[in-house]
Amino acid sequence: MIRTVIFDIDNTLYCFDAAHAKAMEALSRYAETAFGWSGEELRRRALSMQKALRDRMGDVSAIHSRLIRFQNMLEAEGLPLHPHALRMYEAYWETLLKSMEPSPGVEEVLRELKRRGITVGAGTDMTALMQFRKLTDLNLLPWFDFIVTSEEAVAEKPSPGLFSLCVKKAGCAPEECLFVGDNPSKDIAGALQAGMRAVLFTAYTKRAPESAPLPEGCLVTDSLRDILSLPGLNPDPEHPA
């Protein structure tokens, strides 16, 4: 029986890729005005710095910090941190937050899960503050009973530490938890290794035909509504299975 459903956030509860593209457009406009960089130059610098920070810092939640990324970009180019670092950070995140739209059916699904007495959680990489802001701006935070970020778990997915903390907060056995996410190697592999059930959500990150097959029993869907039909997800809270 499924007692807890745990959702990834980015590219699961909303389309991160679309919102990120708009945020980078806003950041490109700022960088062109402030530094004369083209959009392509900005993206090249940002990707290069992201890789350099990951190589230096490892897989920790701080690698997702846009402020650290922009700070280091400016330092590398010999440009002043004031006022640009904070303005670049604000241009990126304010645009991304305004651009987000909830995934189709997500509020319906969350409402129905709560009606059935299911505990609802989030298990996500990234810093806690920004993930709370996303859920708040998506008007989804009230549905969640707990949240685990890689900042709190001190581990990025698919680390066992993040998934074990999810199970601990869920208050039930791993096999009674269902994890829903878009990334096969991070979300699905990590959840299955932890003993959970898993759903791969593909609406925003389509699987290539040559992709390795997923373990038996892992549902693949581009509709979050399909979760409600899974075996073991009690359909009638007044008559538990």
Angle between helices 16-35 and 84-99 (to 10 degrees): 150
Picking from 42, 71, 99, the residue at the C-terminal end of a domain is 99
Of 52, 57, 66, which is closest to residue 20 (Cα–Cα)?
66
| CA–CA distances in Å: residue 24 to residues 32, 109, 128 | 12, 31, 22
The residue type found at 164 is S
- Say whether both 49 and 76 belong to one domain: yes
Is residue 227 within 8 A of residue 12, CB to CB? The reply is no
For residue 180, name the pLDDT band (cuts at 50, 70, 90).
very high
- Say whether both 166 and 94 belong to one domain: no
Query: Using one digit for the tens of pLDDT, what is the confidence trace for 52-108?
Result: 999 999 989 999 999 999 999 999 999 999 999 999 999 999 999 999 999 999 999
pLDDT at 209 over 70: no
Residue 204 inside a domain? The answer is yes
- Say whether both 224 and 123 belong to one domain: yes
pLDDT at 145 over 70: yes
- Say whether both 46 and 85 belong to one domain: yes
CATH number, domain containing residue 145: 3.40.50.1000
Determine the Cα angle at 211 with ends 208 and 217, to 5°. Answer: 110
Residue 205 inside a domain? The answer is yes
**H/E element holding 147?**
strand 146-149
Range of the domain at 75: 17-99
- Say whether both 136 and 52 belong to one domain: no
Helices (DSSP H) in 78-122: which residue ranges?
84-99, 106-115
- pTM for this predicted structure: 0.94
- Say whether both 119 and 183 belong to one domain: yes
Residue 84 inside a domain? The answer is yes
Residue 214 inside a domain? The answer is yes
Residue 8 inside a domain? The answer is yes
Q: State residue 206's pLDDT score.
A: 75
Q: State residue 220's pLDDT score.
A: 92
Number of domains in the chain: 2
Q: Is the dihedral of CA 49, 54, 55, 60 positive or negative?
A: positive
Query: Using one digit for the tens of pLDDT, what is the confidence trace for 63-73?
Result: 999 999 999 99
pLDDT at 208 over 90: no
The CB density around residue 9, as the number of other CB atoms within 10 Å, is 23
Of the given ranges (148-152, 229-233, 237-241), which has the lowest mean pLDDT? 237-241
